[in-house]
A and B are shown apart, each in its own frame.
Chain A
């Protein structure tokens, strides 16, 4: 069973493919660093609540703040369903790994 269910969210644009995932635990720096294996991580550590963004090679973008349990994921317009499936598999793997590390 998926540990984090995605909920479609909307913004100003009808064509957007954006989802919010509520994770079973708060996001640690280790989780953010695990995303680095799949894309480019930008980490604004100096902000009052550190903000991170990960751009995957297929264009999927993940955003969130450290120690929160919500991440926002935008899938590319080109084949968003495949990107969603791939990301959810990666997320599941990372979450599983992190659960075991506790």
Chain B
């Protein structure tokens, strides 16, 4: 049976071609950690930071702190902020639980007030509503996603950050769904903190992610994880400098070596953004033609298409696509529970197909044929 992997918004597959071999090679070699061993070798972390800095247009690679994933990075940011008593946070209904749950936890433990801004029927943040909330609540932090993981709708991060900075808020961008497929330029956009992952559209291994910390935030953010750093071990506290201040414990070197491979490979490729956008739009239009209720996120968008089929349970559609047709997809709330009230897809959620640069036109045809067969068979 044919296999179509359409769950790239969760994690990419296949990975960039060199990743597997690099990770395997790395794990077979004698391990050492830069700055922690008596002998030296190529420093994957250093190269990875430089490649990411270039991708993010960040001047100093040391402003990029590594961690296992974007959720970890968002927690480092949200738990690291020195919250004022009764502080407000403005965020949006498009957020993933990796933002909503830490904020809920902080509202319970630190008493912060969380205000959620609505989104439109495509899952895009409404700029007027964002601006109004910022002016009304004067938040200590404004937290927002660059792109919805449910609909693919991309937000104008530059504009939303400018609005937040105008009221003096710390800006935290969740770039999980955008890095690798869209420009993400935190310094240019005056973003204070930007969380990202390496295993989605950057096509790197799982276990890689990080947080960009603006130089102005360095003294504002407390480390959440503390422990061994391999340097300045005579201090009781974490060393003051970035990135090590926020990187306690043994790093996942082999995964970051794999991420280096993905980033190098990416830099050597021609962009396929236009072809991918065309495929996404063809999939969306094709589903609509078949009678599916698609969430219409006009460009700019990521290669994500969410839909429901009238009279069908989304989970069952997903099971059929996966088990009967070999189409790997995702169903339900996609860990973004609030957005569905605005999309008209509550309480069950959607079926989500998410593409990558390895998706082919034949894959799109196959997905459309599968949905047609489901609908035809039911009729």
List A residues at the B interface (Cβ < 8 Å): 11-13, 44, 46-51, 53, 63-65, 68, 72
Distance in Å: Cβ of A24 to nearest Cβ of chain B: 20
CA distance A32 to B367 in the complex (A): 27
Contact indicator A63/B316 (Cβ below 8 Å): yes
List B residues at the A interface (Cβ < 8 Å): 1, 315-316, 319-320, 323-326, 332-333, 349, 373-374, 377
How many interface contacts (CB-CB < 8 Å) are there between A and B? 39
Contact indicator B323/A49 (Cβ below 8 Å): yes
CB < 8 Å neighbour of A12 from B316, B333, B377:
B333
Distance in Å: Cβ of B237 to nearest Cβ of chain A: 40
By a CB distance below 8 angstroms, the chain A residues around B316 are 53, 63
By a CB distance below 8 angstroms, the chain A residues around B323 are 49, 51, 64-65, 68
Look across to chain B and name the residue whose beta carbon is closest to the beta carbon of A47.
Answer: B324
By a CB distance below 8 angstroms, the chain B residues around A47 are 320, 324-325, 373-374, 377
CA distance A64 to B319 in the complex (A): 9
Distance in Å: Cβ of B80 to nearest Cβ of chain A: 29
Of the A-B pairs whose beta carbons lie under 8 Å apart in the complex, a sample of 21, sorted by A's number, is: A13-B332, A44-B324, A44-B377, A46-B373, A46-B377, A47-B320, A47-B325, A47-B374, A47-B377, A48-B1, A49-B1, A49-B325, A50-B324, A51-B320, A51-B323, A53-B316, A63-B316, A64-B323, A65-B324, A68-B323, A72-B319
Contact indicator B324/A51 (Cβ below 8 Å): yes
Contact indicator A48/B325 (Cβ below 8 Å): yes
Q: Chain A contact residues: over half helix, strand or loop, or mixed?
A: loop
CA distance A72 to B322 in the complex (A): 14
Distance in Å: Cβ of A42 to nearest Cβ of chain B: 9
CA distance A50 to B323 in the complex (A): 9
Look across to chain B and name the residue whose beta carbon is closest to the beta carbon of A53.
Answer: B316
Contact indicator A48/B332 (Cβ below 8 Å): no
CA distance A53 to B315 in the complex (A): 13
CA distance A64 to B377 in the complex (A): 16
CB < 8 Å neighbour of B324 from A11, A13, A48, A72:
A48
CA distance A63 to B320 in the complex (A): 10
CA distance A28 to B311 in the complex (A): 28
Look across to chain A and name the residue whose beta carbon is closest to the beta carbon of B318.
Answer: A11
Contact indicator A12/B332 (Cβ below 8 Å): yes
CA distance A65 to B326 in the complex (A): 12
By a CB distance below 8 angstroms, the chain B residues around A50 are 324
CA distance A49 to B326 in the complex (A): 9
CA distance A24 to B349 in the complex (A): 34
By a CB distance below 8 angstroms, the chain A residues around B377 are 44, 46-47
Max chain A C-beta neighbours (<10 A), residue from B1, B316, B319, B323: B323
CA distance A47 to B323 in the complex (A): 10
CA distance A11 to B373 in the complex (A): 25
CA distance A49 to B324 in the complex (A): 4
Contact indicator B315/A11 (Cβ below 8 Å): yes
By a CB distance below 8 angstroms, the chain B residues around A12 are 332-333, 349
